[in-house]
């Protein structure tokens, strides 16, 4: 079993890719592909990403759909917990 520096429920910041600099919460860890599924909590209020799909019986027109965003586990870092005194 693989070990990662983050786990489900952790608050992270994305350090590379399309969502660089945004803060998110991990909703799932995909160990087979070394990816994490994110729910965004940052200033843009983005919760879902968009993805292009081909035509099919389920989607006869194809086009853009909304879905959860996944990024490689190496592209996220945990947010340091703020100390409250």
pLDDT tens, position by position, 29-85: 999 999 999 988 755 655 567 778 899 998 888 888 877 889 999 999 999 754 455
φ and ψ at residue 68, rounded to 5 degrees: -65, 150
Q: Let me know if residue 84 belongs to a domain.
A: no
The answer for 17, left when phi > 0, alpha when psi is -120 to 50, beta otherwise, is left
Whether residue 1 lies inside any domain: the answer is: no
Q: What is the DSSP string of 32-80?
A: TTTEEEEEE-STT----EEEEE---SSSTT-EEEEE-EEEEGGGEEEPP
Tokens for 68? 């959860």
Whichever domain contains 52, its CATH number is: 2.30.30.30
Closest CA to 76 of 36, 32, 29: 36
Q: What's the structural domain count of the chain?
A: 1
Query: Quick check: is 85 in a domain?
Result: no
Q: Which domain holds residue 36?
A: 11-78
Section 21-28 average pLDDT: 91
- pTM listed for this prediction: 0.71
């Amino acid at each position: 079993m693989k070990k990662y520096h983050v786990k489900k429920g952790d608050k992270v910041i994305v350090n590379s890719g399309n969502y660089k600099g945004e803060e998110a919460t991990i909703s799932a860890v995909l160990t087979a592909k070394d990816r994490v599924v994110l729910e965004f909590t940052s200033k843009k209020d983005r919760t879902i990403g968009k993805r292009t799909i081909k035509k099919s019986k389920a989607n006869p027109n194809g086009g853009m759909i909304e879905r959860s965003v996944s990024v490689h586990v190496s592209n996220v870092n945990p947010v340091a917990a703020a100390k409250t005194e």
